[in-house]
């Protein structure tokens, strides 16, 4: 077991399967005690927690410490209970990995408001609630005179960064998480807390909703075995971002796809045009847009 995260306590949401499972196992491998949060895939509450318990058992078998939590991160009371229980049972909180997610893919003309609201609730509301609860906890510790090195690691995706057909709910949610990451990295910096986002890849139960896609669980592979679609492929990055070594890295988005890491940069000014201090005229704007913004006289413009 590596000492990289020795003495740290981490919450990982959506940690029973796939990417979150990989994160939980990797954090534990480096010495963190882990709270494995997941609804457990139960129907109407029957058998809730079975899947999270399995991850706890894997961590304990390897000599680590973990507890299961079955709360719904989209429910404020459950999130408060999650953080309170973590501190009560494990003594502290250092790391929050916001990973939980669902998909409800349809083209926008077929998507119901329930499809939209459910995805936003888990991804955006859930990430915001856990971030707020952790921030309140760390702020209280700082006000009590304690030095804090907190870590929040959020999860975005290529859909949120570039868009994807059939995912107007999911892509919107993942883009919102980037905005939340950038803003809270500024708000929490003075507390000693860093906030970053990763964009992972892998074959998971979510990708399995697409025809012909298999599922890989992180523990299907050996600890040093490489597979380009291993859902735990981004987990070493998460472990490093969770460590004290990453104290100077905040407000960043890093994609971990196959064997590559990509530092992502957001919207920036790519081209400009000036009206020379006069009001723009819509009827003559086409040639300016085509020539100065896009660098060509586009068909039908100007």
Active-site residue, 174 included: yes
One domain for residues 194 and 250 = yes
Q: What is the pLDDT of residue 262?
A: 94
Active-site residue, 81 included: no
- Tell me the average pLDDT across 106-114: 97
Question: Is residue 2 domain-resident?
Answer: no
Question: Is residue 4 domain-resident?
Answer: no
Question: Is residue 296 domain-resident?
Answer: yes
One domain for residues 242 and 293 = no
Rounded to whole angstroms, the Cα distance separating 295 from 298 reads: 9
Q: How many CA atoms lie within 13 A of 180 on its CB side?
A: 26
One domain for residues 148 and 289 = no
One domain for residues 136 and 217 = yes
Question: Is residue 138 domain-resident?
Answer: yes
Mean pLDDT of the chain: 90
One domain for residues 128 and 203 = yes
- Tell me the average pLDDT across 9-24: 96
Rounded to whole angstroms, the Cα distance separating 89 from 62 reads: 20
One domain for residues 146 and 32 = yes
Q: What is the pLDDT of residue 127?
A: 98
One domain for residues 175 and 278 = no
Question: Is residue 3 domain-resident?
Answer: no
Structurally, how many domains does the chain consist of?
Answer: 2
Rounded to whole angstroms, the Cα distance separating 123 from 179 reads: 13
8, 70, 168, 170: the active-site residue = 170
Domain at 125, CATH number: 3.40.50.720
Q: Name the pLDDT band for 295 (thresholds 50, 70, 90).
A: confident
One domain for residues 187 and 277 = no
One domain for residues 32 and 126 = yes
Question: Is residue 65 domain-resident?
Answer: yes
Q: 1 with 31: CB under 8 angstroms? A: yes
Question: Is residue 176 domain-resident?
Answer: yes
Rounded to whole angstroms, the Cα distance separating 139 from 130 reads: 14
8, 70, 157, 168: the active-site residue = 157
Q: What is the pLDDT of residue 301?
A: 43
pLDDT tens per residue across span 120-147: 999 999 999 999 999 999 999 999 999 9
168, 174, 243, 246: the active-site residue = 174
Q: What is the pLDDT of residue 207?
A: 55
Residue linked to tokens 């998971």: 204
Q: 15 with 36: CB under 8 angstroms? A: yes
One domain for residues 143 and 284 = no
One domain for residues 66 and 82 = yes
For residue 279, give its domain range.
271-302
Query: Nearest-CA neighbor of 170 among 158, 188, 153?
Result: 158
Residue linked to tokens 């025809």: 211
pTM of this structure: 0.89
Question: Is residue 90 domain-resident?
Answer: yes
One domain for residues 59 and 158 = yes
Active-site residue, 262 included: no
């Amino acid at each position: 077991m590596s000492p990289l995260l020795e003495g740290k306590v981490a919450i990982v949401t959506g940690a029973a399967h796939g990417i979150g499972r990989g994160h939980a196992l990797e954090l534990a491998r480096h010495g963190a005690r882990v709270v494995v949060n997941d609804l457990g895939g139960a129907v109407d509450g029957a058998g809730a927690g079975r899947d999270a318990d399995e991850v706890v058992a894997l961590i304990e078998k390897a000599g680590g410490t973990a507890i299961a939590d079955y709360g719904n991160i989209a429910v404020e009371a459950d999130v408060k209970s999650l953080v309170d229980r973590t501190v009560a049972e494990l003594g502290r909180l250092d790391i929050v990995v916001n990973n939980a997610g669902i998909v409800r893919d349809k083209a926008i003309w077929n998507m119901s408001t329930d499809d939209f609201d459910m995805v936003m609730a888990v991804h955006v509301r859930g990430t915001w609630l856990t971030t707020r609860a952790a921030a309140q906890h760390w702020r209280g510790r700082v006000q009590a005179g304690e030095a804090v090195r907190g870590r929040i690691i959020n999860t975005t995706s290529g859909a949120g960064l570039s868009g994807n057909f059939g995912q107007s709910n999911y892509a919107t949610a993942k883009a919102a998480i980037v905005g939340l990451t950038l803003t809270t990295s500024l708000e929490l910096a003075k507390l000693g807390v860093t906030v970053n986002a990763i964009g992972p890849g892998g074959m998971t139960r979510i990708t399995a909703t697409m025809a012909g896609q298999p599922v890989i669980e992180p523990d299907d592979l050996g600890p040093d075995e490489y597979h380009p679609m291993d859902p735990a492929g981004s987990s070493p990055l998460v472990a490093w971002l969770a460590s004290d070594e990453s104290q100077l890295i905040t407000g960043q988005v890093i994609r971990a796809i196959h064997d590559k890491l990509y530092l992502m940069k957001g919207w920036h000014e790519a081209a400009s045009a000036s009206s020379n201090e006069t009001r723009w005229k819509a009827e003559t704007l086409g040639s300016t847009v085509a020539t100065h913004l896009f660098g060509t006289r586009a068909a039908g413009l100007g």
